[in-house]
Structure 1
Amino acid sequence: MKKRVLILGSTGSIGRSTLDVISMHKNRFKVVGLSANTNLGLLLKQADEFDVDMLALSKPDESSPRRKNLITGPEAHLELIRLTKPDIVLNGISGSAGFLPSLETVRMGITLAVANKESMVIGGRFIKQEANKSGSHIIPVDSEHSAIFQCLKGEAPRSVKRLILTASGGPFRDMPKEDFRHVTPEMALKHPTWNMGKRITIDSATMMNKGLEIIEASWLFDIDVKNIDVWIHPQSIIHSMVEFGDTSIKAQMGLPDMRIPISYALGWPVRLPLDLPTLNIDNVPAIEFFPPDTERFPALELARDAASKPHLPCIMNAADEVAVDAFLKGLIRFDQIIEIVKTSMEGLYHEEIHSPEDLMILDNKTREYTKELTR
């Protein structure tokens, strides 16, 4: 029987890669639903190619055609999950908009393949609580977290000493800090090894992406952030590592291609074959590791500080989304992004959250607060 797959954010980078993987294994998977934010044209094209009836568009415009099986509006992703009742949801939505769909997925006891890191960063506590109640499985899709997930297979949780997240260092890993003020959006969008969406590419350049991944890993693998290290690895061949109590270290290696962790998540617990270029061990460049410069890239320590309070990751993430958008629009400089995030966290430090609803209210409040800082 084919595994029934729902892809949220199918027109984005992760969604397109997911459909590419499924096209290699049409005998294993049936796409039962697709969703997008605004790109209706590509959504309809994907639906025709993969014979998908149920679609969702969260932000339709007046020109969007009415279609019998097209759900529209801010609740569209949630309604699509409830209507299709898939075996697995691949959440590739960008930003905090992916949190409520992830929460709904695990509440329904459906396997969640989570590429939307913000789900775990801002609301990992609520998602883990609901998954524990329903028995839902959470499979990470981020290359780093997929690597750790694979390294932990067959290992006792108590045997883990620390997690080691690798980072390319982004395009400015060797640039002097005083030159950051001259960085343009075009420069920041040229990632040295990965082809990703705009926000995550800018976050890679500031290393905020790695800060978010520290918090995500903490929730996914139930480990304190003090036991999660980040090392710069420019070649992006080793995607992450796990050190155990006996001093052994396991690493997952491969070419930087998101279709590999996506395939692992879709096929789990079975590893699927892929018709992709392979890593030739005899031609691997020299592998380097060195510690990140936290003075030039303060986002890493900012994220560790945020993990100390349940509401701060939400503020940090929302402020970063707004600041990155402002940078891309030319409203602020590159070197102001993290400073604005820090100011938002300080200004909203005394906020509290007790429920997912509180989280969404705080997310919106942070966005308004941060927008004022970027004007």
Structure 2
Amino acid sequence: MRRVVILGSTGSIGTQALDVIRANPDRFEVVGLAAGSDRAGVAAQAEEFGVDAVALGAVEAEQLVRDVPADVVLNGITGSVGLGPTLAALEEGRTLALANKESLIVGGDLVTRLAAPGQIVPVDSEHSAIAQALRSGEPDEVQRLVLTASGGPFRGRSRAQLLNVTPAQALAHPTWDMGRVVTTNSATLVNKGLEVIEAHLLFDVPYERIDVVVHPQSIVHSMVEFVDGSTIAQASPPDMRLPISLGLDWPHRVAGVGVPLDWTTATQWTFEPLDEEAFGSVALAKRVGRAGGTYPAVFNAANEQAVDAFHEGRLSFLGILDVIERVVERHDAPAALTRESLAEAEAWARRTADDVIAAL
């Protein structure tokens, strides 16, 4: 029986994790729940699963992780506020099922230095796919990681055709049902840029050996190319319950958690190169990742401010990446990476992004 703490329990990842646990009561026990602000929602969950330890907000969530004996902490919080709970889970020796990519990307070496081998289990579908594929070979046999991207709602459009897209259009993702920030990040491909940084930190593969390919069907979730020319791909219908279940009990699989592909029906999968002129966020993310330090935190914070401005009608769609790039170029990283320097860099990035937005 795995004792599980779920952070972000009322969000998309959290509710799907509870679906998995609800269907497998002999395998998982919920011992802690944390939500952002949905007091009524988390209270209903706590009553259903018989949970006494409940928290609201990231600060309380971090304390809950430290106080509650658990085997695994699923961090499904959105945004860099998830860093504190991520560090707490690692410091307390819990297995960290990580859906909050921002905490790893922003925390960088602060997170990786704390993590024991195998302590972080990725829940993003792409990184879960890579983790599964990597079991087919040894680390020194890995040639390349290939992250797949659906291309979002604007796949195939030129940069000029993206000038006047609306927030409603940006939220019309063809495959996944996600929150506003993540869905917008998928439309700009900022999300894929963040995932490239995450892949580098999780799997210790250099940026020049991490590629992105557009795969509109979202069936192949990512691939690993090995030195002998073999490529191992993980394929399944788009359903987050599969990578969530692996995160909860890695490396063991949970029977019946997903619906398999129907191999009796004719189908076609396509793969296309990424148009880096229209979607420059992946190249910028690689630059930011190589710079390290507080640069990824600045990238992420500037993006969050820009996404808000876009949805409030204060910024164009193409302006999102323009704002991020201008903020990154103005950043002067501190000598040491600490929680304090990260907080200061994020605050600076948000103020600077707001100034850039106001000037555009």
**Shorter-chain-normalised TM-score: which range?**
over 0.9
The alpha-carbon distance between structure 1 residues 248 and 154, as it changes in their structure 2 partners (threshold 3 A), is closer
Where in structure 2 are the equivalents of 1:297-316 lying within 5 Å? 297-310=279-292, 311-316=294-299
Classify the secondary structure of the residue corresponding to 1:308.
helix
CA contact under 8 A between 2:20 and 2:257: conserved in structure 1?
no
The answer to whether structure 1 residue 137 and structure 2 residue 119 are counterparts is: yes
Long gaps (5+) in structure 2: none
Equivalent residue of 1:255, what SS? coil
Residue type matched to 2:155 in 1? R
From the superposition, tell whether residues 358 and 350 of structure 1 become closer, same or farther in structure 2 (CA, over 3 Å): closer
Kindly indicate whether residue 318 of structure 2 is the aligned counterpart of residue 335 of structure 1: yes
Is residue 258 from structure 1 mapped to residue 240 from structure 2 by the alignment?
A: yes
Q: Secondary structure at 1:164's aligned position in 2? A: strand
Correspondences of 1:137-286 after superposition (within 5 Å): 137-283=119-265, 285-286=267-268
* 1:362 partnered with 2:349: no
Which residue matches 1:347? 330
* Structure 1 equivalent of residue 301 of structure 2: 318
Q: Distance in 1 between matches of 2:266 and 2:147?
A: 20
* CA distance, structure 2, for counterparts of residue 136 and residue 283 of structure 1: 38
Paired residue for 1:93? 77
Change beyond 3 A, Cα 1:148–1:276: closer
Call closer, same or farther: CA 1:117–1:176 in 2, change over 3 Å.
same
Residue 373 (structure 1) shift: 2.1
Cα distance, 1:352 vs. partner? Answer: 4.2
**Aligned ranges 1:289-300 → 2 under 5 Å:** 289-300=271-282
Asked whether the equivalents of residues 4 and 32 of structure 2 are also in contact (C-alpha less than 8 Å), the reply is yes
Equivalent position SS for 2:327: helix
How many aligned positions are there?
357
Local SS of the residue matching 1:56 = strand
2: distance between equivalents of 1:154 and 1:249?
A: 10
- Counting aligned pairs with the same residue, the percent is 45
1:136 is displaced (CA, Å) by 6.5
Retained in 2: the 8 A contact 1:235–1:285? no
Q: 1:102 aligns with which of 81, 86, 97?
A: 86
Shift of 1:304: 0.8
Whole-angstrom distance in 2 between the partners of 1:7 and 1:233: 31
Aligned to 1:45: 44
Cα-to-partner distance string for 1:292-351 (whole Å, 9 max, x where unaligned): 000000101100110121221111011111111111122211110000000110111444
The answer on whether the counterparts of 1:112 and 1:136 sit within 8 Å (CA) in structure 2 is no
- Aligned equivalents of 2:246, 2:337: Cα separation in 1: 34
Structure 1 residues 2-61: Cα deviation after superposition (integer angstroms, max 9, x where no partner): 211000111111111111111111111111111111111111111111111111111xxx
User: Who is 2:34 aligned against?
Assistant: 35
Distance in 1 between the 2:175 and 2:145 partners? 22
1:241, 1:251 within 8 Å by CA — same for their partners in 2? yes
Q: Which residue number in structure 1 is paired with residue 16 of structure 2?
A: 17
- Higher mean alpha-carbon deviation, 357-366 vs 49-58, is at 357-366
Contact kept in structure 2, 1:106 and 1:136, CA below 8 Å: no
**Secondary structure of 1:241's aligned partner:** strand
Aligned equivalents of 1:226, 1:275: Cα separation in 2: 35
Distance 1:283 1:225 in 2: 37
One-letter code of the match for 1:214?
V
Task: Describe the shift of the 1:315–1:120 C-alpha distance in structure 2 as closer, same or farther (beyond 3 A).
Answer: same
Contact 1:141 1:262 in 2 (8 A): yes
The whole-number CA distance in structure 2 between the counterparts of 1:283 and 1:95 is 40
Aligned residue in 2 for 1:64: none
2-structure distance, mates of 1:157, 1:117: 22
Instruction: Please tell me the residue identity of whatever aligns with 1:145.
Output: H
Partner of 2:100: 116
Partner SS state of residue 154, structure 2: coil
Give the letter aligned to residue 245 of structure 2: S
Structure 1: gaps spanning 5 or more residues = 59-73
Structure 1 residue 255: deviation in Å? 0.3
The alignment's TM-score, normalised by the length of structure 2, stands at 0.96
TM-score by length of 1: 0.92
Distance of 1:243 and 1:278 partners within structure 2: 24
User: How far 1:251 moved relative to its partner?
Assistant: 0.4
Structure 1 counterpart of 2:125, one-letter code: S
CA RMSD across the alignment? 1.4
1:125-162: CA deviation from partner (whole Å, max 9, x where unpaired): 11111113xx6611000000000000112521111000
